[in-house]
Structure 1
Amino acid sequence: MGARRFAVLLCAEDSEYMRRQYGGYHGVFRGMLAEDGEAWDVYRAAAGDLPGDGEIGLYDGFVITGSCSDAHGDDAWICRLIGLLRKLDSMKKRVLGICFGHQILGRALGGRVERAKSWDIGLRTIQLSPSSKRFSSLELPAQLSVIECHQDELKELPAKAEVIAWSDKTGIEMFSYGDHMMGIQGHPEYTRDILVHLIDRLFLRGLITGSYADELKASMGACEPDREAWKRLCISFLKGGFS
């Protein structure tokens, strides 16, 4: 039996800092999720690079990353990604969507994504659903802190999907669809350092004001999320440890 194989569908462009410090976002996800003996590949989805029909079957699971693009947009690469996600659903492949990945996964399955009333940037506490059986074997606390950085959100669930976490800011912080697909609005892979860098990038791109960027950094404090708990949760889902 060959090594387990996973693919990161990269929906953002790596900055020079992210490449140098972390090996890009692919390196960040590998650092959080990869275990000995596994193969991890990257497809640069935002550049039009997606696995073909002959490659999909090689993988045990897929991770969709965050992005500066809108999940409610109709860019050619976004439409192609939606087509791929629907194919992965039909094949019951495990897919973990993060931030933009969470939103585009929800959209591909029939949900609705919209611009939120305001940005959500910083550390936020989310409430895990006490009725969800998905968390019972992991002995997680009822609440987890996670770094958020998003302007859009999944407003309406796909049919047959289940909300499995929420916050006072966002009604659908996590959802599951069958046993094979899960979305997380926050960034369990982020550290405080990555968030500070991203705030600077958002300012340089004109997406947030300088005063808001300064306010965010000043109010951030230590700002380290419950990364070990998120790591356990994501690994357990992606690799079939709970259903």
Structure 2
Amino acid sequence: MKSEEGKRYALLLAAADSEYAKKVYGGYFNVFVGAFGEEGQTWDLYRVVEGEFPNMEELDKYHGFVVSGSPYDAYGNDMWILKLCYLLQILDAMQKKVLGICFGHQVLCRALGGRVGKADGGWDIGLRKVMMVEDMPPCKFLDGLEDIPPCVSIIECHQDEVWEVPPGAEVIAISEKTGVEMFTIGDHMLGIQGHPEYTKDILCNLIDRLLINNSIEVGFANDAKATLEAGEPCREFWEKICKSFLKGDNS
């Protein structure tokens, strides 16, 4: 196992911190580093949703990047979203590790030539079972993981989805609700539609906020919360996947 000492990572945060996340976790940055970070690593925060981006000449000092979820549409044309797409194209050309989560998964797809949009089935919120595809393409970050289950639970919260993966991408997981739950491009790009970093309480608070601003209805919110009461997300499995991907080499 190679040491993580000296490896540097950047979180590209595409959402403002909720009051709950700030109060309980000190912000989403701590949620992500707590889930994906390891001893010896250095993590930096760039609030891309506020127009804060790493300088181009600094990109090479990072071993990997994580793009967070967001309330914004990955197919939107806000200036920061277009700038993020350009950055992701640069990182792809540099063969840098990029992990996209939810919105990050979708914007990564868009930036590299895929298609994203509103999900035909509407919102997907709660605990959902994700199936790994049967003919799994070779994935270096899965090599060290033993007994990969065919079906794993993850927390979901999205109303957009990947319609078509970019050229050269491989779909590696699906669900009954969403056709592209995970995709890879080579060994340097990984998109995950669900939220491996989320805890149940984070999602419950988010459901309450969506209810308050009339984004979802009471019955739907109750059904979503019921899925959380009925099972547990496989957080350990997802964190292992994300950590293995981020710290791996592309060679």
One fold, TM greater than 0.5? yes
Q: Distance in 2 between matches of 1:157 and 1:106?
A: 6
1:126 counterpart = 2:130:
yes
Tell me how far 1:2 sits from its aligned partner: 6.7
Aligned counterpart, 2:228: 220
Aligned counterpart, 1:138: 145
Contact 1:191 1:224 in 2 (8 A): no
> CA 1:80–1:28 in structure 2 vs 1: closer, same or farther (change >3 Å)?
same
Q: CA RMSD in A?
A: 1.7
Aligned counterpart, 1:206: 214
Q: Distance in 1 between matches of 2:70 and 2:81?
A: 11
Equivalenced residue count is 243
1:101 counterpart = 2:104:
yes
1:196 counterpart = 2:209:
no
- Identify, as 1 or 2, the structure richer in strand: 1
Larger CA deviation: 115-124 vs 127-136: 127-136
> CA 1:165–1:219 in structure 2 vs 1: closer, same or farther (change >3 Å)?
closer
Aligned counterpart, 1:18: 21
Q: Distance in 2 between matches of 1:109 and 1:91?
A: 13
Tell me how far 1:241 sits from its aligned partner: 6.5
- Secondary structure, in 3 states, of the residue corresponding to 1:46? helix
Structure 2 gap segments, 5+ residues each: none
Contact 1:33 1:231 in 2 (8 A): yes
Q: Distance in 2 between matches of 1:150 and 1:22?
A: 22
Deviations 1:192-231 (A, max 9, x none): 1111011012122321123322332244315420011111
Larger CA deviation: 26-35 vs 98-107: 26-35
Q: Aligned partner of 1:185: which letter? A: Q
- Secondary structure, in 3 states, of the residue corresponding to 1:12? coil
Aligned counterpart, 1:51: 54
Contact 1:126 1:165 in 2 (8 A): yes
TM-score w.r.t. the length of structure 2 is 0.92
Q: Aligned partner of 1:16: which letter? A: E
Q: Distance in 2 between matches of 1:219 and 1:138?
A: 27
1:229 counterpart = 2:251:
no
Q: Distance in 2 between matches of 1:115 and 1:48?
A: 25
- Secondary structure, in 3 states, of the residue corresponding to 1:114? strand
Aligned counterpart, 1:183: 191
Larger CA deviation: 16-25 vs 69-78: 16-25
Contact 1:192 1:222 in 2 (8 A): no
Tell me how far 1:112 sits from its aligned partner: 0.3
> CA 1:91–1:242 in structure 2 vs 1: closer, same or farther (change >3 Å)?
closer
Aligned counterpart, 2:247: 239
- Secondary structure, in 3 states, of the residue corresponding to 2:144? helix
TM-score w.r.t. the length of structure 1 is 0.95
Deviations 1:141-184 (A, max 9, x none): 11111011000000001010000100111110000011100000
Aligned counterpart, 2:69: 66
Aligned counterpart, 1:158: 166
Contact 1:115 1:152 in 2 (8 A): yes
Deviations 1:113-150 (A, max 9, x none): 01002100011111112323223431221111101100
Runs of 4+ in 1 over 6 A off after TM superposition: none
Deviations 1:20-57 (A, max 9, x none): 21121111110011111111111001001111112211
Q: Percent identity?
A: 54
